[in-house]
Amino acid sequence: MGPHSAPAKENPLQPGLLQTGAPRPGPLRIVVLVSGTGTNLQALLDACADSSYGVQVVAVGADRQGTRAIERAEAVGVPTFVVRVGDFDERPAWDAALAAAVVGYAPDLVVLAGFMKLVGPAFMAAFEGRVVNTHPALSPAFPGMHGPRDALAYGVKVSGCTLFVVDGGIDTGPIIAQAAVPVLDDDDENSLHERIKTVERQLLVDTIGTMARDGWTVTGRKVTIP
């Protein structure tokens, strides 16, 4: 396993450089946030079983109880936590509690993998430039909760998935990687989403592993993995 590059804060000498790497030993520590089935999480957990992958899932967090994703983490002994919006009077308090829970695991990178909430200012302040999200559409098309449905409704012939650095907007951050799939004439939302998820899991595993082993740089909207 080679060294990976740990993310750094904004470099004042190079405005626009959000994040760059400095080699350090050991696996990249990631916290994965989930809301549902957790097949993307499972793909990461499976990859992490091989130490040469260069990544360690140090915790998995959810915004709701009883998700399959949390069960998947528990099955392999990864610590889990749940921080529910409904347990707080106001959304900012939830956001701060979520940030605090994640900070407790000292991740190098936070991976949103089917996490169906928008993280807020407190979370972004704690992890700016170190949060990535996977979205089931080819950004900048079809942001939001219903990427596959919106792509079908628009009639596109190609869709796919996008891994990006979270910037506080809705699926607007700098793009790390994308993969495309065809949209078939007889697709419904579910069949298209499942086809997307097949390539999405592979893209997530491949890209997070490469970032862990080789580092990455975000300059403005441009993400570079050496």
Write out the catalytic residue numbers.
Answer: 135
Residue 39 or residue 207: which is nearer to ligand GRF going by CB? Answer: 39
Residue with the shortest CB distance to ligand GRF? 114
Residue 54 or residue 114: which is nearer to ligand GRF going by CB? Answer: 114
* DSSP secondary structure of 116-169: -S---HHHHHHHTTSEEEEESS-TTSS-STTHHHHHHHHT-SEEEEEEEE--SS
Dihedral pair phi/psi, residue 139, rounded to 5°: -60, 145
Q: Which residues bind ligand GRF (CB under 6 A)?
A: 36-41, 69, 113-114, 134-136, 197, 200
Residues 6+ apart with CB under 8 A from 117: 35, 63, 85
Q: What tokens does 86 get?
A: 């409904």
Could you tell me the CA-to-CA distances from 31 to 41, 68, 180 in Å, in that order?
Answer: 10, 17, 26
Q: What tokens does 4 get?
A: 């990976």
Residue 32 or residue 223: which is nearer to ligand GRF going by CB? Answer: 32
Distance between CA atoms of 154 and 206, rounded to whole angstroms?
30
Could you tell me the CA-to-CA distances from 155 to 142, 162, 197, 219 in Å, in that order?
Answer: 12, 19, 19, 33
Residue 125 or residue 180: which is nearer to ligand GRF going by CB? Answer: 180
**Least distance (Å) between residue 42 CB and ligand GRF:** 8
**Least distance (Å) between residue 33 CB and ligand GRF:** 11
**Least distance (Å) between residue 113 CB and ligand GRF:** 5
**Least distance (Å) between residue 203 CB and ligand GRF:** 10
